[in-house]
Amino acid sequence: MKKLIKWTIALLIIGFLLNYLIKNFNQINWSSISFNYFYLILAIIIIILSYLLQSILWWILLKKKLSFKKSFRIYFSSLVGRYVPGKALLVITRIIMCQKQGINKSTSFTSIVLDLALYSLSAILLFIITLPLYGTIPKQLTLPIIITAILLLPLIHPKILKGIINLGLKLLNKNKVRFRLKLYNSISLLLLHMLRWFLLGIGTYFLLISFIPVQNTLILILPGIFALSIVLGMLMILSPGGLGIREGIIVLLLTPFMQIELAILFSLISRILLTLIEATLALIFELKLD
């Protein structure tokens, strides 16, 4: 019943966006739309590179206990867990697959939790860094943004990060994690995660300009938008795969730069493309190992 409710909420949001798009279909300036296959192929290549970098970062946190191929297989195969309400299947699947490779539950769980923490922290920080590119930020938002940045920066320190992670796990009635990271390693991993988000944003920018002409500044703004939308979608337990949440945030943040109808269309196309890339990568590494 809970799963049904969660899927219903996600589909209602997607349905609302689709309904708005259909009702305002005639408002789209179709003469401005033209497909550029070179940009589309470039977008796919860059997005794939961003996913490969993310899986390498998890492999590093796992202390390289697996080969590249096996870590890629586990990483991409477990991504399907994001589309199950609650997101727990992602963690469970990855732990089980690691155990089959001789890696104990504690090691794999710690690597997953730490990866998700850096994944989320880097996304929020990147969004804050790119905010000035939006132009004038409303005065009522300036102070909250500054406070958020000040509160997030100390989390880069391994001891503080570990404390926050374990506090969250305690609230979820989960065991504490233990890991040793030097400040240098923590900063390096955070920057690499931000690079991953930046690559994903660049890829989605080329996806966007493959059919819609937009401002050049979006090449620097989209990384922050996608990073924030994906992480907030992931944190919304009620939404499988962030379905609806991600699209809603993308539309909200892109409307200052383009027609809302085009923003909706882009959010849906990007969802389809990213899902296809995830599924294809999982299938490729599954078949290669078999």
Does the pLDDT at position 20 exceed 70? Answer: no
What pLDDT was estimated at residue 288? Answer: 62
Pair 247, 13: CB distance under 8 Å: yes
What pLDDT was estimated at residue 5? Answer: 53
Does the pLDDT at position 6 exceed 80? Answer: no
Does the pLDDT at position 3 exceed 60? Answer: no
Does the pLDDT at position 86 exceed 70? Answer: no
What pLDDT was estimated at residue 34? Answer: 79
Contacts of 216 (CB under 8 A, 6+ apart): none
Does the pLDDT at position 153 exceed 60? Answer: yes
What pLDDT was estimated at residue 121? Answer: 92
User: Band of the pLDDT at 27, cuts 50, 70, 90?
Assistant: low
Does the pLDDT at position 101 exceed 70? Answer: yes
What pLDDT was estimated at residue 199? Answer: 97
Higher-scoring residue by pLDDT: 281, 63: 281
What pLDDT was estimated at residue 227? Answer: 94
Q: Taken in order 60, 61, 65, 69, is the CA torsion positive or negative?
A: negative
pLDDT in tens, 210-244: 988 888 889 999 999 999 999 988 877 666 656 77
pTM score, whole prediction: 0.85
Higher-scoring residue by pLDDT: 152, 11: 152
Token pair in block for residue 240: 């499988």
What pLDDT was estimated at residue 102? Answer: 86
What pLDDT was estimated at residue 21? Answer: 64
Q: Mean pLDDT over residues 272-288, rounded?
A: 83
Average pLDDT over the chain, rounded to whole?
82
Does the pLDDT at position 1 exceed 60? Answer: no
Q: Mean pLDDT over residues 156-161, rounded?
A: 87
Q: Which of 135-149, 153-167, 228-242 has the lowest mean pLDDT?
A: 135-149
Q: In one letter, which amino acid is 80?
A: V
Q: What is the SS3 assignment for the chain?
A: CHHHHHHHHHHHHHHHHHHHHHHCHHHCCHHHCCCCHHHHHHHHHHHHHHHHHHHHHHHHHCCCCCCHHHHHHHHHHHHHHHHCCCCHHHHHHHHHHHHHCCCCHHHHHHHHHHHHHHHHHHHHHHHHHHHHHHCCCCHHHHHHHHHHHHHHHHHHCHHHHHHHHHHHHHHCCCCCCCCCCCHHHHHHHHHHHHHHHHHHHHHHHHHHHCCCCCCCCHHHHHHHHHHHHHHHHHHCCCCHHHCCHHHHHHHHHHCCCCCHHHHHHHHHHHHHHHHHHHHHHHHHHHHHHC
186 vs 13, 65, 159, 169, 288, CA distance in Å?
A: 37, 19, 10, 20, 33
Largest CA distance in the chain: 58
d(CA 157, CA 182): 8
